[in-house]
Structure 1
Amino acid sequence: MLLLLVLLFLLLLLPLPLARLQQQSQLPRLSWLASLQHRVAWGSLCWAAAWQQWRLEQNTLHVAQSQQRALRWCLKGAQGSRCPLRGSTDMSTFRNHLPLTKASQAQEEESGEQLLPPTSKQHHGEASLQATLLGLAALNKVYPEVLAPGGTARLTPTSPWPRPVPWPWHALSKVSPPGAKDPGTLLLEALRSPGLRALEAGTAAELLDIFSGLEVKGKELAEAIAAGNPGAPLPRRAAELREALEQGPRGLALRLWPKLQVVVTLDAGGQAEALAALEALWCQGLAFFSPAYVASGGVVGLNLWPEQPGGLYLLPPGAPLIELLPVKEGGQEEAATTVLLAEAQKDKEYELVLTDHTSLTRCRLGDVVRVVGAYNQCPVVRFICRLSQTLSVRGEDIGEDMFSEVLGQAVEQWPGAKLLDHVCVESSILDSSGGSAPHYEVFVALRGLRNLSEENRDKLDHCLQVAAPCYKSLRFRGSVGPARVHLVGTGAFGALREALAASPSSPFPPEMPRVLRHRHLAQLLQRRVVS
């Protein structure tokens, strides 16, 4: 068996990479070698995915033992004075002796050392490899043509696969040039290939920026394709691009790539709005698939169901250790005692608590999930909201999910408008109260509406009062002022995402905030207000 694996590995390292073989396809022998390389690569991945599937079955059938092993891994890896527990211990002792810590608290030590949340360094761990392998297998089962030679192109420098496996990856006939980091180069290469069946992007928000920019730079890209920069001139393909762009954004992806079936992005906090905009406009009629849900840079949920809309994720029982903190109804303070994966109840909501070996901190991530089913003894969940993205200028606590729903209701009342993106800022961050009552500053990116009337702006505040009685009471007493809505120009949110990604502590994928806490980020959008 070992000899066979070595032979397979050597075949994958053939000196002629796939891209070169395709360029010289006039030679039958080289084309045969390319086909062999692809088959061996995919066969190897299928074997690895089958092994990971078997392990997942065993771990989810015996959850208690799996989580105990994860605990031993955490205890073994923890070092120094941060580890009050020594050696092996049981789950009950661990939970009784280590207090829960919020992510913001976990970032500062008495020594002043800055720490990232527990999973920020887990992006290349076993969970990410498992998510990649099982995600590829699941995607191939539902869309078998996607991974055929030349079937997939990536449009962003970052990949939606949590851990792209290096040795067979380039043999799976990606259209994207290996190692390309420039989004313009990636998009241009994809546009030259009309037969694509799948698009990949790091996150839905990044893909939204790509399609928004495509409308702006479409003429320039068409000229490059016609002139053969790079590659051979393709005047007919350039004409197709111009014609597709002239018909507007709705359904643009399928006009550019008629055989397209699915879009693969990596799910993380704050991506739902970009995903909804893509589904309604540029990617209308296409399926979306995320192989994993990532929080603070680490994989916390596996998606085994590409055919299911809305993102269903299995919480795996391996490392890092996952606990669930019940969320009480009404948004009040959460219960003090966590439950383990096998104890989760259907239709209940929980906040994720993660522990890894770097700090041995039981960290409350703030990500809230709702249990919708079970896979063996493990819960299957939907991600609902992030507690860290709560608005509160007078203790009213307007959650991320509620505000996004209310804003959507308001935008539906703005004739012709389609919401693309938004963030909120409490007025104290921008010092914008000016002696008036504290309030919300809301920045929105729209399609179909260039100016906001005062009537339109007032509709958001009215919808908030209807949805949140506490907010209505504060508004009636004058303790909170009316929400102020600002329309920003094209590219404003792309610039915000670039600023977020540039932070040294930013994980990948960077979660899209819906409430900005830093003044320089809020001012970045403030400078781009057009109405």
Structure 2
Amino acid sequence: MVLFLLLLLPLPLLLLLLLPPPQWAALRQKSPRDARLPWLAGLQHRAALGLLCWAAAWQRRRLEQSTLQAGLSQRRALRRCLRAQGPGRPRGASADMSAFRNHVPLTKACQTEEKESGEQGLPPTSDQHCGEVSLQATLLGLAALNRAYPEVLAPGGTARVTPASAWPCPLPWPWHTLGQLSPPGAKDSWALLLEALRSPELRALEARTAVELLDVFLGLEAGVELLAEAIAAGNPGAPLPRRAAELREALEQGPRGLALRLWPELQVVVTLDAGGQAEAVAALGALWCQGLAFFSPAYAVSGGVLGLNLWPEQPGGLYLLPPEGPFIELLPVKEGAQKEAAHTVLLAEAQKGKEYELVLTDRASHTRCRLGDVVRVVGAYNQCPVVRFICRLSQALSVRGEDIGEDVFSEALGWAVGRWPGAKLLDHGCVESSILDSSEGSAPHYEVFVSLRGLRNLSEENRDKLDHCLQEASPHYKSLRFRGSVGPARVHLVDQGAFRALREALATCPLAPFPPEMPRVLRYRHLAQFLQKRVVS
């Protein structure tokens, strides 16, 4: 679509717009007397912004049409999905929903992969991740961001500090024109951070996910002297000794509000919501990015983009489930043991206040996969639900059938950390005791690994507070603890680099998902032992 839009432009303007920043720099060197170049750069930016607004408006009209007739749009999406499956599709499968449900049963996304590889299963893959919905999420997200924070897309207004982008479908053009500041060819966070630190006028900071941005700030604190020396020496670029001094002074005042001290005009942090990011967002908002807004353009799993964020001013992340693109169904989540409901419902049938598990039809394996992601419907956009993501069923803890959900455990852990004087939670991971063989004749229990700021040692009194909070959060867990069927949760403090190293290890796995979700419950012994070796208290 982007190429089609470019073809509509006059040739001279097209040449100006397609000219990347390195060529502009070369022209400046060849023609130092040409005073028109700053004006031409401004023209390039205005034209790029105008084209973005036009393309976003066109996508918004398409979204309006599809959401006004959500049932019809989903049937079209299902027909496209079945056509893509070709002659090998399940016998009898058709675009009729009743027949489709009867002939294509629900499966869990991880069933096949776990049997074949012995590793944690992943959601189905889909070519839609770089397709129409991803482009739609990017264009509408950029337009929404521009409305909420108009200066963000000014030239040099945004810096990305991770190699991968937060935008589901980064545009090859006009990315630099619309404010993106990054050194050409940079492939590591260190070089990107160094470039960002040289630019105090930034309005937006971008990272692929919040956990990766957390790693960037922890790395910034650990390597402040090396960064300051590089900036002062002009490696790369011109020497900036004054900026290096500002960096050292900002770090001396501690982590709270650091981002705004380094970049006084900063307004928003852009990251991609991909599951397991809530703790990192909370830690960043309480410390380094205090006073800044957070915006995620989309909610994504390895199966593709599933939700569009049209409301950057709304905290907590609200997402519209679009009817076009991946064929999504909603499986009602029953209270208690979360048993499987009788059948799924379509987007237009979702009820406000209800919780549903997402089901995605995979084009490659001809299956309807339960992703495990649970959403709560909080509103509607025409005939489509607006949802908030609640938890992932795969991240539940259960050693005696108590089924402590990801959201319940995170809330209990938050209560406990709030009772530890001076502590701020950065990261956590859980392991059921059977994985580590740590019961040693005692009752099965949870092994909990936490990374904290402001607390170097955990007293036994503090450790016990988590178990008390879990009992308050879950009556079933409290009953099992009272009977002695489940032992008290054991809490371990790990060093601040432990979870970053864990994420690096997970990224090397050949089945690593994109975008990378952050697992909170580790199911494999080698991963649990990885954290166990980093325990400091």
TM over 0.5: yes
1:14 to 19, 25, 28: 19
| Secondary structure of 1:345 counterpart | coil
The alpha-carbon deviation at position 296 of structure 1 amounts to 2.7
| Secondary structure of 1:167 counterpart | coil
Question: What CA distance in whole angstroms lies between the structure 1 residues aligned with 2:310 and 2:440?
Answer: 51
CA contact (8 A) 2:28 2:34 kept: no
Question: What CA distance in whole angstroms lies between the structure 1 residues aligned with 2:319 and 2:95?
Answer: 29
Question: What CA distance in whole angstroms lies between the structure 1 residues aligned with 2:229 and 2:118?
Answer: 54
Matched to 1:333, the amino acid is: K
Question: What CA distance in whole angstroms lies between the structure 2 residues aligned with 1:389 and 1:208?
Answer: 21
| Secondary structure of 1:495 counterpart | helix
The alpha-carbon deviation at position 36 of structure 1 amounts to 2.1
> Residues 35, 368 of structure 1: CA spacing in aligned structure 2 closer, same or farther, 3 A cutoff?
same
1:527 to 512, 533, 537: 533
CA contact (8 A) 1:150 1:173 kept: yes
1:279 to 277, 285, 294: 285
1:467-486 paired onto structure 2 within 5 Å: 467-486=473-492
Question: What CA distance in whole angstroms lies between the structure 2 residues aligned with 1:273 and 1:161?
Answer: 21
Matched to 2:349, the amino acid is: E
CA contact (8 A) 2:110 2:122 kept: no
Any gaps of 5 or more consecutive residues in structure 1?
none
Bigger shift: residues 204-213 or 103-112: 103-112
| Secondary structure of 1:507 counterpart | coil
Percentage of matched positions with identical amino acids: 79
Name 1:354's counterpart in structure 2. 360
Deviations 1:35-54 (A, max 9, x none): 22222222222222111111
Question: What CA distance in whole angstroms lies between the structure 1 residues aligned with 2:498 and 2:125?
Answer: 29
Question: What CA distance in whole angstroms lies between the structure 1 residues aligned with 2:284 and 2:121?
Answer: 35
Question: What CA distance in whole angstroms lies between the structure 1 residues aligned with 2:244 and 2:516?
Answer: 34
Name 2:177's counterpart in structure 1. 171
Any gaps of 5 or more consecutive residues in structure 2?
none
| Secondary structure of 1:324 counterpart | strand
Deviations 1:21-69 (A, max 9, x none): 7976884222222222222222222222111111101000011110001
2:35 to 15, 28, 39: 28
CA contact (8 A) 1:74 1:360 kept: no
CA contact (8 A) 1:21 1:31 kept: no
CA contact (8 A) 1:442 1:484 kept: yes
Name 1:72's counterpart in structure 2. 79
CA contact (8 A) 2:155 2:176 kept: no
Question: What CA distance in whole angstroms lies between the structure 2 residues aligned with 1:146 and 1:16?
Answer: 18
Question: What CA distance in whole angstroms lies between the structure 2 residues aligned with 1:132 and 1:349?
Answer: 27
Question: What CA distance in whole angstroms lies between the structure 2 residues aligned with 1:495 and 1:312?
Answer: 31
Matched to 2:8, the amino acid is: L
Name 1:459's counterpart in structure 2. 465
1:85-484 paired onto structure 2 within 5 Å: 85=92, 88-107=94-113, 117-484=123-490
Question: What CA distance in whole angstroms lies between the structure 2 residues aligned with 1:15 and 1:237?
Answer: 27
Deviations 1:85-132 (A, max 9, x none): 36x531221122211111112437899999952345432121111000
| Secondary structure of 1:164 counterpart | coil
Question: What CA distance in whole angstroms lies between the structure 2 residues aligned with 1:158 and 1:442?
Answer: 30
Deviations 1:419-469 (A, max 9, x none): 111010001111111222111000000000000011111111111122212
Root-mean-square deviation (CA), in Å? 2.2
Matched to 2:242, the amino acid is: R
| Secondary structure of 1:95 counterpart | helix
| Secondary structure of 1:172 counterpart | coil
The alpha-carbon deviation at position 336 of structure 1 amounts to 2.0
Asked whether 1:514 is paired with 2:520, we answer yes
Asked whether 1:48 is paired with 2:55, we answer yes
CA contact (8 A) 1:250 1:280 kept: yes
Name 2:8's counterpart in structure 1. 4
Bigger shift: residues 289-298 or 153-162: 289-298
| Secondary structure of 1:407 counterpart | helix
| Secondary structure of 2:331 counterpart | strand
| Secondary structure of 2:353 counterpart | coil
The alpha-carbon deviation at position 16 of structure 1 amounts to 5.6
| Secondary structure of 1:368 counterpart | strand
The alpha-carbon deviation at position 317 of structure 1 amounts to 0.2
| Secondary structure of 1:481 counterpart | coil
1:489 to 492, 495, 507: 495
| Secondary structure of 1:359 counterpart | coil
> Residues 3, 128 of structure 1: CA spacing in aligned structure 2 closer, same or farther, 3 A cutoff?
closer
CA contact (8 A) 1:368 1:387 kept: yes
Question: What CA distance in whole angstroms lies between the structure 2 residues aligned with 1:458 and 1:95?
Answer: 48
CA contact (8 A) 1:314 1:378 kept: yes
| Alignment TM-score, normalising by the size of structure 1 | 0.95
> Residues 486, 125 of structure 1: CA spacing in aligned structure 2 closer, same or farther, 3 A cutoff?
same
Question: What CA distance in whole angstroms lies between the structure 2 residues aligned with 1:114 and 1:83?
Answer: 26
> Residues 444, 22 of structure 1: CA spacing in aligned structure 2 closer, same or farther, 3 A cutoff?
farther
CA contact (8 A) 1:22 1:34 kept: no
| Secondary structure of 2:39 counterpart | helix
CA contact (8 A) 1:18 1:171 kept: no
| Secondary structure of 1:351 counterpart | strand
| Secondary structure of 2:299 counterpart | strand
Deviations 1:121-155 (A, max 9, x none): 43212111100000000000110100001100001
Question: What CA distance in whole angstroms lies between the structure 1 residues aligned with 2:43 and 2:241?
Answer: 33
